[in-house]
Structure 1
């Protein structure tokens, strides 16, 4: 029940905060008392609250913790909650805690900074019981300073902790005037605007309104049947429109917002969900970084079978539908699956729970365990082959992956099968080389989840491989918006005329996600193609405007400003491009891509000294950023200052020794400056670590042939051909090396 005190606090907030808070819509609770009661105890209800004795869990009695050399001390002053922040220079700033943020297992606190910013403190209260290690102030252990934009509530947190948020960011003043409809995650956050529903009620609930006035329904749990002889229940019909996933994924996904959410929108019309790539995911799709569930779930057989969030989670309390294995045996016959024969453990003992094997946990923020929602099968062989974690060794920490793999073979009498995409993605992501045919088999397998196929597409190299281009062209017609978007993205290295030929029609795609990707790649046509007629020009302008508007949603993020700058350059607005880059630097002074792009902009304008000085200043400011030293080395080479260029590239290769591009350029620079032996030595070192890297294998083979070591070149070329037997370049080099090694008659 909403109390008078809560409403009083909400009213008080109107007078003391720049953020607008509208009191909870009581009409929902009048008719939906049971759901409202369940919601009030949920994480959604407590996602954000005004700091008060009823909401603050931390011990504000003078305790605290340190973060990156700054000491945070928490105390009370009358009715206010206070934090004193002492920096390494022993200078102290004092702030009032304005809001609580979450409540378990950690509760964070927000303070107000100039410009309407609210900062989430990196020192949180561990609200777990003392017996579990809680009831303490806890450093979230990041290398970021406490006032970094990554901790800014308006930028990084607000959209998912409050309802119908309006960020209201002003890029020119770098200030916010953020407002919300409701302080926490309330009814309309999931169900959408209720105006039409209230109208339906006032009109005596006419049956002609399909969803009681709402534009769509979240009631997608469906009807499930266990057919004779089956061990898993089947859904009678697919979810109507996947609106439940769309609603939940607006927050429970690692994503980029591309439009405001509403209940009738498909997921690809309001978010750009992150695909399977490092560091967010392991190659098999297991969670690595914090991905917030949806991307994992979309990989699962559960999702393909029609399972929706509310089949397992009660949507108002957010509690599980059942405890333990009873949750899974709603659909999976317990006599088949909840037995030692299936799970290989003593019944009801550790390891016998379905989630132990199929939903292993990863700990974030030090104490917060999140379960993987891809519902994968433990595969220790992938740990041995590709260094991918497995659930077996998460429990059996004293055993080896080889022991776990052998145990599975002995129990099941068959070896674990590695996911094809795990093997292929692993080779690609670790620079071990990639056979095009293997990648294409994943892309073309329509039985695989769309997110896996899309993740394969973005790894294909259409610029170097014709088959990859043909495949991308084919997938432009796929039923899945996610696959179509990835197919468009695969055209990135293609010439502009090829992009226009194949992508122009997709500018009218029904999916906003696809249209935005098309706009990004076709925007240079505005200046580069004089053949566009008035209608085509107007169409392109509409596309570009839609893309620019979508980027502005996140204009408080340096990465988005980088994309805006690229758009401005593509559309011949260099002054705005420079402004966008400088705004990115103002938000984060150590955002190296902004300096690199600014230097490139100056170089394109013929301002070479200014380009070089930009990079020199940046390397002085951020001396351990390898990408800056790499860019500086390129700048020196362009100005024919080879000695300084080699030195800069050497620093880049030392800072990031696993980067194939840095090593490649370093080796080329060494060879061209007369140090061929050192170049070959560096390439040997890299190939020993990454024996299948095609780019550096080719360079090493060419140098060995050039400098009389053809026998060594043959060994490397045979390794290359084992990976890519159809490579014409590898065959030609192999023939050249073979000729050189033949003894003269």
Structure 2
């Protein structure tokens, strides 16, 4: 028989033990969590499947987006193009797209110019075009010139649209089989997640890898393994941790930080290495290009394929804290509102969505539509839409219409002066700039605000009086960083500008510091002393700008206190040169590096490789001629310069160089002839 009193006593003891142990258990769990936080591990990529359960709405938006469809394996569900024995005629050759055994093939001009068969391995994008990738030796993927127009459902040959009248054939580096159309170096970084290029300069080959084939969650949020650990903890053990364990912050940041997250892909830029999500600044990975000619117009309007960052960062929107997700659903990429409603989130309808502001016919009124300079059809009423006057666009890649995100006030008066485009004449192609300017005066009065492009244009045309305007622009914080950087960029070489440039060394903005270093003239030891502290700048782009500026300074001139920093940044520079040595210009820069180190053998090797890759890289030919002259081989230098001048007879510098080389070769009469041509 059970002793009830004894049993009850045992139960009470066990309950008390459990109650006493509960705080210990909780403290232990908290301690373990704390220990986990005190020794942070490097976050790893886990894949979008790990995100879906908790983030279904975001996943639903993302599915089918440009990011989702950025790249995929070629199969019946991903290939949009007509591979049902479709053909396209070009230069007397018949290109064919077809299927065999469930696989996709093209018959097109190959690396030697002859027609060959290639299997399509991957699709690239989906709308308004879809590109196709084929495998080549050395781990290369090449982008076919045969491109599917998803808007009009037809094939076209991309090179004929992008490189018009350039006669691109298999010998040209722009041909689809050559480096300009190489996926590993030109495309991969922004079409897949966690790309590691893995270029081997010794074998000129790639072993490129990705975590996910498309632009997935962790492309923008960073590797999520630590976030996943945190999310999988019980509620009582889930501590408040920085950014929920995610590596990249997309909330609780200012618009500059937010937009910089997008800039590593949505910008025209130079790249300094594979993306490191743990880096605190984009300037440790990329150096966005300033909006200058020839890629932009002198006032910063888009010209070439410039993407968005350099445009948007010029705008008043950027200066007033607007960021990408104010207009775009960041997961679907779609606009958050349609038509003028998008702009009326901030701008008053009574001021701007009215005939007294637009001066154009409304939808439904009688009239004829227009076809813009970019070939876009605009119906009657389109002139009342904000974006058509303040975000005109251009076609890229043949049929991809993209709008300028610098949000311009149309200035046909400046089009007359500087040759820049304006929205009025982009639509009214049959009218003159003067016609448009007169209408602007009639509607808005004769007063026009100062536009920074006026100062930039004056400077570019050699007007040193523009310096005073450039000083004003730089010192005015109402101008965005990119414009203030451009003001430094366009300063004349006058010593009176040196103090302003030195002041810019201390800007909080990396782009200003980079531009100041690039623009700085080393005239004295004092100048050198002013520059050297920036070897310890927190951002790689600034440090590299400094080491490039020091290229012609002998190491013996570097003060001892800066020598370690100098050597460290020199190593950084070399690593970046190796990373980019798959490009012709990359090989050229690597050759220059070796040339300055007096390593003539490697300098010659990479000049020749650069020229082999791009026969029109003329600066490599000029430098190679200089190298041969330095090596005591003026005969080779003469040969190279003469061949170069066949294609470039008006190059005065090359004529001068050839004159000197001919003098070395004791051909004095011929030397004088070329010196006179210089």
Report the TM-score when normalising by structure 2: 0.83
SS of residue paired to 2:116: strand
Matched with 2:24 is none
8 Å CA contact 2:642, 2:658 repeated in 1: no
Give me the whole-angstrom Cα distance separating, in 1, the residues matched to 2:415 and 2:336: 33
Once the two structures are superposed, residues 51-96 of structure 1 have per-residue CA deviations (whole angstroms, 9 ceiling, x without a partner) of 1110111111233335677653211112111111247998321110
SS of residue paired to 1:74: strand
Q: Does 1:124 align with 2:143?
A: no
Q: Does 1:252 align with 2:266?
A: yes
Q: Residue 479 of structure 2 is aligned with which of 448, 457, 461?
A: 448
Report how far residue 399 of structure 1 moved: 1.5
Compare 26-35 and 320-329 and name the one that shifted more: 26-35
Matched with 1:692 is none
Matched with 2:591 is 565
Q: Does 1:309 align with 2:333?
A: no
| 1:387-402 correspondence runs (5 A) | 387-402=419-434
Compare 112-121 and 83-92 and name the one that shifted more: 83-92
Q: Residue 188 of structure 1 is aligned with which of 218, 240, 248?
A: 218
Q: Does 1:593 align with 2:624?
A: no
Give me the whole-angstrom Cα distance separating, in 2, the residues matched to 1:438 and 1:71: 57
Q: Does 1:104 align with 2:124?
A: no
Q: Residue 521 of structure 1 is aligned with which of 549, 553, 559?
A: 549
| 1:589-738 correspondence runs (5 A) | 589-618=615-644, 623-625=646-648, 630-640=653-663, 644=670, 666=677, 669=678
Report how far residue 436 of structure 1 moved: 2.7
Q: Does 1:504 align with 2:519?
A: no
8 Å CA contact 1:281, 1:289 repeated in 2: yes
Indicate the structure (1 or 2) with the bigger Cα radius of gyration. 2
Give me the whole-angstrom Cα distance separating, in 2, the residues matched to 1:120 and 1:86: 13
Once the two structures are superposed, residues 655-687 of structure 1 have per-residue CA deviations (whole angstroms, 9 ceiling, x without a partner) of xxxxxxxxxx84xx4xxxxxxxxxxxxxxxxxx
Once the two structures are superposed, residues 531-578 of structure 1 have per-residue CA deviations (whole angstroms, 9 ceiling, x without a partner) of 633x53222101111222223322211222222233333344333333
Give me the whole-angstrom Cα distance separating, in 2, the residues matched to 1:194 and 1:514: 30
Report how far residue 161 of structure 1 moved: 0.8
Given the superposition, is the C-alpha separation of residues 626 and 550 from structure 1 closer, same or farther in structure 2, using an over 3 Å criterion? farther
| 1:283-682 correspondence runs (5 A) | 283-348=298-363, 349-419=381-451, 421-429=452-460, 435-462=466-493, 465-491=494-520, 493-495=521-523, 497-529=525-557, 532-533=559-560, 535-618=561-644, 623-625=646-648, 630-640=653-663, 644=670, 666=677, 669=678
Report how far residue 490 of structure 1 moved: 0.8
Give me the whole-angstrom Cα distance separating, in 2, the residues matched to 1:461 and 1:575: 38
Q: Residue 211 of structure 1 is aligned with which of 218, 243, 251?
A: 243
Matched with 1:160 is 190
Once the two structures are superposed, residues 295-351 of structure 1 have per-residue CA deviations (whole angstroms, 9 ceiling, x without a partner) of 101101111111111111101100001001111111112111111112222344121
Give me the whole-angstrom Cα distance separating, in 1, the residues matched to 2:107 and 2:276: 38
Once the two structures are superposed, residues 260-306 of structure 1 have per-residue CA deviations (whole angstroms, 9 ceiling, x without a partner) of 24165322222100102112111111100111101101101111111
Given the superposition, is the C-alpha separation of residues 246 and 338 from structure 1 closer, same or farther in structure 2, using an over 3 Å criterion? same
Given the superposition, is the C-alpha separation of residues 101 and 68 from structure 1 closer, same or farther in structure 2, using an over 3 Å criterion? farther
Report the TM-score when normalising by structure 1: 0.76
SS of residue paired to 1:474: helix
Give me the whole-angstrom Cα distance separating, in 2, the residues matched to 1:293 and 1:515: 26
Give me the whole-angstrom Cα distance separating, in 1, the residues matched to 2:526 and 2:335: 51
8 Å CA contact 1:116, 1:176 repeated in 2: yes
Give me the whole-angstrom Cα distance separating, in 2, the residues matched to 1:169 and 1:409: 57
SS of residue paired to 1:82: strand
SS of residue paired to 1:137: strand
Compare 553-562 and 397-406 and name the one that shifted more: 553-562
Once the two structures are superposed, residues 511-543 of structure 1 have per-residue CA deviations (whole angstroms, 9 ceiling, x without a partner) of 2221111121224445342x633x532221011
Report how far residue 149 of structure 1 moved: 0.9
Give me the whole-angstrom Cα distance separating, in 2, the residues matched to 1:204 and 1:396: 64
Once the two structures are superposed, residues 586-618 of structure 1 have per-residue CA deviations (whole angstroms, 9 ceiling, x without a partner) of 332332221111111222333222222233344
Report how far residue 127 of structure 1 moved: 0.8
8 Å CA contact 2:267, 2:288 repeated in 1: yes
Higher relative contact order (CA 8 A, sep 6+): 2
Given the superposition, is the C-alpha separation of residues 73 and 543 from structure 1 closer, same or farther in structure 2, using an over 3 Å criterion? same
Given the superposition, is the C-alpha separation of residues 175 and 215 from structure 1 closer, same or farther in structure 2, using an over 3 Å criterion? closer
Compare 470-479 and 96-105 and name the one that shifted more: 470-479
Report how far residue 642 of structure 1 moved: 7.0
Matched with 1:240 is 254
Given the superposition, is the C-alpha separation of residues 68 and 270 from structure 1 closer, same or farther in structure 2, using an over 3 Å criterion? farther
Matched with 2:40 is none
SS of residue paired to 2:68: coil
Q: Residue 199 of structure 1 is aligned with which of 205, 229, 241?
A: 229
Given the superposition, is the C-alpha separation of residues 461 and 276 from structure 1 closer, same or farther in structure 2, using an over 3 Å criterion? same
8 Å CA contact 2:638, 2:661 repeated in 1: no
Given the superposition, is the C-alpha separation of residues 407 and 210 from structure 1 closer, same or farther in structure 2, using an over 3 Å criterion? same
Matched with 2:26 is none
Give me the whole-angstrom Cα distance separating, in 2, the residues matched to 1:625 and 1:49: 44
8 Å CA contact 1:381, 1:405 repeated in 2: yes
Matched with 1:659 is none
Give me the whole-angstrom Cα distance separating, in 1, the residues matched to 2:257 and 2:95: 43
Matched with 1:176 is 206
Give me the whole-angstrom Cα distance separating, in 1, the residues matched to 2:58 and 2:293: 39
CA RMSD of aligned residues (A): 2.6
Give me the whole-angstrom Cα distance separating, in 2, the residues matched to 1:213 and 1:627: 60
Give me the whole-angstrom Cα distance separating, in 2, the residues matched to 1:568 and 1:597: 12
Compare 99-108 and 510-519 and name the one that shifted more: 510-519
Give me the whole-angstrom Cα distance separating, in 2, the residues matched to 1:423 and 1:626: 33
